[in-house]
Structure 1
Amino acid sequence: MLLPLDTQSSSDTDAPRKPERCVIVVDEALSPGKASNAAAVVAFTLGQRHSHLVGAPLREQGGTTHPGLIPIGIPVLKATADQLSELRQKSLAHCDVVDFPAQGQATTDYDAFLSAVNALSGDSLQYLAVGLVGPRNRIGKLVSGLALFA
C-alpha cells in the first residue's frame, strides 16, 4: 500500500533537505528468501518514491560508470508480525510508509494480489515488511529497540 507522499521532488534543488533516514523492517518469522524478497519489494518502491535519496553515479578510474546508490544506507531490521502492524500504524503520521501485505507472497499474479487486499479491511491486513523514510530523529524513535535482521 502506498500512502500520500509529502517529500520534496528530486528536481527541487533550491530548498535544503532535512537529514533523512530510510529503514526497512521485516517480519522476523520469514525465511531468508522470503525476507529478502519482502525487503527488495519495499526498497524498490521506496527508491521510486524518493529518487532524491539516490547518490551520484560511481565512476571507475577508467571512466566506466555505475548507477548511484543510496548514500545514507538502509538498515534492515526485524520485528514480530504484531510489532510490524503497530509500527506501521504509529509511523503514518510521521513519515512516508511503504508496506508489503502478506498477500503479496501468496501469488505471483499482481491482479490477484490487488483483489486479495481489496477484499480485506485495513485493520485485518498482516504485513511482511514496512519501509519508512522521514526525519532522522522521528524514524530513530519509531524503530528504537529493533534489532538487525540476521
Structure 2
Amino acid sequence: MNTPATILSSPPERCVIVINQQLAAGHAANAAAVLALTLGQRHPMLVGAPLIDADNREHPGLIPIGISVLVADSEQLTQLHQHLLNDDEMDGIIFPAEGQQTTDYAAFREAVSAVPTESLQLLGIALAGNKKVVRKLTGKLGLLG
C-alpha cells in the first residue's frame, strides 16, 4: 500500500471535501468530520503552526490552505472517485454508505469488502493535490449549505 508521501510528489496545494447532497445535516457533518480526520492523519503537513492568543496561550494549528466542503450528487461522487483511482498526483479518501449503517468498524470493513469498487455508494470523498487539478474537478460544485 502506498503511503501519502509516495502517492504525492509534493505537499497538497488544495484540499476539498465533497459530500453527497442527499445527506441530512447531521449525516453530512459526520461524513465531513470523518474525511477531514483521515485527511489530516494522511497529510500531517497540512496542519499549520500553533495559534497563540493575546494571553500567550497556545492552541493547535489549523489548516493554512483552507478546506472547502462542497456537495455533489451520487453520480458526481462516483466520477470523482474514478478520477482519483486513475490519478497518481492526487490523494483521496472515500466514505462509503456502509460507514453510517453501523457503529462497529469491523462490521463496516466486512460490508465494504463485499462491494466491488465500481459499485461503492459514496457519502463523501476528500481530495488533496495540485491546486489546478482539484479546482478543475470540483470548481462547479456548490458549497455545503
* Same fold by TM-score greater than 0.5: yes
TM normalised by structure 1 equals: 0.88
**Cross-structure match for 1:72:** 65
For the aligned residue pairs, the C-alpha RMSD in angstroms reads: 1.7
> Shift of residue 3 of structure 1?
6.7
Match of 1:143 among 132, 138, 144: 138
Q: Is the 8 A contact 2:12 2:128 kept in 1?
A: no
Higher helix content, 1 or 2: 2
Alignment of 1:53-132 (within 5 A): 53-92=46-85, 93=87, 94-132=89-127
> Shift of residue 117 of structure 1?
0.3
**Dislocated runs of 4+, deviation >6 Å:** none
Q: Is the 8 A contact 1:4 1:96 kept in 2?
A: no
Structure 2 gaps, min length 5: none
**Cross-structure match for 1:27:** 20
Q: Is the 8 A contact 2:8 2:90 kept in 1?
A: no
> Shift of residue 19 of structure 1?
6.4
> Shift of residue 30 of structure 1?
0.2
TM normalised by structure 2 equals: 0.91
Identity of aligned residues (%): 50
Structure 1 gaps, min length 5: 9-16
Q: SS where residue 23 of structure 1 aligns?
A: strand
1:7 aligns with 2:29: no
Q: SS where residue 30 of structure 1 aligns?
A: coil
Q: How far apart in 1 are the matches of 2:12 and 2:38?
A: 20
Q: How far apart in 1 are the matches of 2:66 and 2:39?
A: 13
